[in-house]
Amino acid sequence: MITVRQKEVTVGRLTEDAKRVLAQMKVVPVATASKDGLPNVVPMTFVKALDDSAVLIADNYMDKGARNLEENPSVSVCVWDLETKRAYQIRGAVEIHRSGPAYEEMVAWVKETKPDAPAKAAVVMNVTNVFVCHSGADRGKDVVLP
């Protein structure tokens, strides 16, 4: 369990399949919402599993999304694999890092591919839910691991 903005959040772990699907995504839709619930979804290229229980999102050009995360630390990403027809929605609560190990890892990762990107902050999503979005008996089920 972690505390995000004075709220305790139970952190779970990504399934191996969800990590695999996330790793093969070139562009990931990242959804945030303002404190009033106004949604914002943007395509982002720098999104990856940081470890079994966290997803790293590089804030290079986030404007509305960054403001939303300051007001409401909830974020969601959707990932899919068209070949295997597997899809997941990954939800979590974020911590924003502008220094430290997560930030340094994000900067190195971004600068390796896009040296001119600003690499403003490492948005670390602590995974709380992994919902199945593909067909089958588990569709809609939360498969986050304890």
Over the stretch 63-99, which tens digit does the pLDDT of each residue have? 999 999 999 999 999 999 999 999 999 999 999 999 9
For 55-120, the three-class secondary structure string (H helix, E strand, C coil) is: EEEEECCCCHHHHHHHHCCEEEEEEEECCCCEEEEEEEEEEEECCCHHHHHHHHHHHHHCCCCCCC
**pLDDT tens digits for 4-21?**
444 567 789 999 999 999
Q: What is the pLDDT of residue 8?
A: 67
Question: What is the model's pLDDT at position 3?
Answer: 43
> pLDDT per residue over 94-144, tens digit each?
999 999 999 999 999 999 999 999 999 999 999 999 999 999 999 999 999
Q: Domains of the chain, with CATH numbers?
A: 2-132 (2.30.110.10)
Judged by DSSP in three states, 52 sits in coil
Residue type, 67: R
Average pLDDT (55-67) is 97
Task: Record the pTM.
Answer: 0.91
